[in-house]
Amino acid sequence: MRRLLSVVLVISFSQAVYCGIQTVTVTGGTVQGTNADNIAIFKGIPFAAPPVGDLRWRPPAPVAAWEGVKQADAFGQACMQAEGSMGNTAPVSEDCLYLNVWTPASNANEKKPVIVWIHGGGFSGGSTSTPMYDGTGFAKKGTVFVSLAYRLGPYGFLAHPELSKETGRGSGSFGLEDMVVGLQWVEKNISQFGGDPANVTIFGHSAGCGAVSMLVASPVTQGLFHRAICMSGGSFAPLQQVGENSPGMSIPSLATAEATGEALLGILGVADIKAARALGADRIQAAVTGGEGAMRFRPTADGYVVSRDLYSLYEAGKFNDMPILIGHASDETAAFGGPQTVTPEEFRNQIQSQYGAVAVDLLAAYPHATNEAAAKAARGVRNMSSFDWNTWAWANQQSRHGHGKVYNYYFDYHAPTVTGAGHGSDVPFAFQTLAGRRSEPTIADHELAGMISSYFVNFATSGDPNGPGLPEWPAFTGDKPVVMLFDAEPAAEAVPDLDKLKIFDRYMESLRKR
């Protein structure tokens, strides 16, 4: 009897320990989550209809209602992509428009700040189920954390004249429209999870960061979020035109993207969009896998979500003015591989053929007298064109044309055996998901993760990352361009490589004047 009583008491105690949110009614029906360490977790909540069959290459449709209580205890399938793309191990499907919520709230009235995560992956891969993106760390620090999926590759970003005619407003940004509908879902439903729909921060890395920059500059997102955090991305280069090679992260013009879409239908051997919709997803994926260097699918200046290049939109005052927290790592493209050996002559030829009027200045700014120096210089130029300059341009444009403050960071925390911090190396520090990296995290690693995550949570709460026990992080201004340097001894410092950034300012200006 005593043993039975003990079991009953243990069960009763375990049920009483967690009294937070467990069942929630949202758009479409009721969902029941799980609990881990006093955080309620809801996985795989549908926020739009599956974009399959005739709904392929259309704006996201309303979610279908369901009967009874849906168990929200497993991630949805990842959106269609090549096997193992960006480390994704989840099953893939076109039926993938699901989101996940982590909440520390004990009831629906707490109005906690909300963070909405948009994963990276080059707009062609990745998923919300990646362990590095676990939202528990952010929830434990008092935020309601949401991660949402979006269509990838040709399923999310195919433009075609027929599709533009169907929509009446351009095509090629269905994946961005998924994000918009996900944010609308948050606005309507997040209060049921104890979140404050009037205090939402969007947060992305790499392609997710590029998407964040586009959503900040889009008229269709006005009022859906109030702050933005962007890690290693942004898209402020001039639009890519037909037949041009353009700097990394640039947005293709509608004509450029439509030409790519017509080329894909030619490869698929179909005459029109109706016939392409009848094809299996595997057939389409096979046609683009391995060939995305020549046929890239990414958000388009469709005239609806994005009208033109972001730099010009900021110049015209056509953006959603808000506080932003942005930054990048010190050696982003080291993670992408590339040529290990570059000769001085190869480097000179590359710069002279691509950078025209500023080639002389770039060659002077990047030492390249030896093969080793030339390889380092080539990587430095790739870093600058794809990541460094876009972060710099966004910070400048916001500080010049907006009222929301800018907080800029530079992540240079790395092992002494490498020359810098690679792409994505800062993400597990923000999420406090350091376990599973190549080496066991140290005390110093955990301390830096605690610092960075606290800065991010403070920013999501109030628009200012500063708080008790943290080194002072001053706002970036045009007169005082500073970054918070995250290395072994974090501190505010002047923006690195300012001379090189200003060379790229002149280069991008020359492209805008074409």
pLDDT reported for residue 290: 66
pLDDT reported for residue 10: 40
pLDDT reported for residue 340: 74
Token pair of 242, please?
């037909």
**Beta-carbon contacts of residue 16 (< 8 Å; ≥ 6 apart):** none
**pLDDT tens-digit map of 440-484:** 899 999 999 999 999 999 999 999 999 999 999 999 999 999 999
**pLDDT tens-digit map of 247-275:** 767 899 999 999 999 999 999 999 999 99
pLDDT reported for residue 171: 98
- Active-site positions read 206, 332, 423
> Strands 23-26 and 29-32, how do they pair?
antiparallel
Query: Rounded to an integer, what distance in angstroms lies between the CA atom of residue 475 and that of residue 481?
Result: 8
**Beta-carbon contacts of residue 491 (< 8 Å; ≥ 6 apart):** 471, 484, 485
pTM: 0.94
Q: Which residues of the chain register pLDDT less than 70?
A: 1-19, 243, 245-246, 248, 290-294, 338-339
Query: Rounded to an integer, what distance in angstroms lies between the CA atom of residue 308 and that of residue 217?
Result: 10
Nearest to 31 by CA among 78, 82, 68: 68
Query: Rounded to an integer, what distance in angstroms lies between the CA atom of residue 21 and that of residue 43?
Result: 14
Burial class of residue 144 in the structure, from the number of CB atoms within 10 Å of its CB (0-12 exposed, 13-18 middle, 19+ buried): buried
pLDDT reported for residue 18: 63
Which letter does DSSP use for residue 286 in this model?
A: H
Contact predicate 457/141, CB 8 Å? yes
Which helix (DSSP H) or strand (DSSP E) does residue 92 occupy? strand 92-93
Nearest to 163 by CA among 50, 297, 244, 55: 55
Which residue is listed with tokens 């533009």? 164
pLDDT reported for residue 471: 98
Query: Rounded to an integer, what distance in angstroms lies between the CA atom of residue 131 and that of residue 139?
Result: 15
**pLDDT tens-digit map of 78-131:** 999 998 888 788 999 999 999 999 999 999 999 999 999 999 999 999 999 999
Burial class of residue 67 in the structure, from the number of CB atoms within 10 Å of its CB (0-12 exposed, 13-18 middle, 19+ buried): exposed
